Amino acid sequence: MSSQREKRLTLVISDADGKELFKVADKLSPDLAVRFKSAIAATISGCRKNSFLWNVFMHYGCDVEVVKRELSRQYNEKGTMGMGSYWGFRYNVVLEGLKRVGIKTKPRVYNNAPHGLAEEAFKRYGGIKKVLASFSSMLEFSKVCKVSSCNLGEYLHRSGYFYDRSEGKWKERR
């Protein structure tokens, strides 16, 4: 049984130096370059190998500004759920990573909380009765207000409405 001793090296490098070192690593042998890049990404991200931020920093070449720009763009386009499926991590891991990088995230009310979002959407468009009169379906309204039709329907149920299948309209419970 052979035992290998690993020696740890603690690095403290600036973001600019990390970016430079990441580029220089390509001049090394392939195996050594991968290890060197991995160590740089772990140092700059402050996370272990194969973590979410480590993967992001490896993907974008340890350029902190590019990482922040791309992650905030993805967060605004896809949200944490979409980013989770894109990067292969759970949404809460992605959310923690975004906070560590310094990207401002929305409060939890906006992360798939149907009640708060639906209530806000109905208020923004003049209340439930006005929305029901203006739009032919919740699907049509959901495309306008950017809240899922399921969440809107759930909010209507909680607010005392039911869907009449024979007429295809939402009605108030009496």
pLDDT, tens only, 147-160: 888 888 988 998 99
Query: Do residues 44 and 18 make contact, with C-beta atoms less than 8 angstroms apart?
Result: yes
Domain boundaries 110-172, CATH class: mainly alpha
At 161 the pLDDT is 94
- Using a pLDDT cut of 70, give the percent of the chain over it: 90
Backbone angles phi and psi of 157, in degrees to 5: -60, -45
**Higher confidence at residue 117 or residue 166?**
166
- Residue 172, pLDDT score: 92
Domain with CATH 1.10.10 in the chain: 110-172
Kindly report the pTM of this predicted structure. 0.55
- 107: β partners: none
* Higher pLDDT pick, 94 / 10: 94
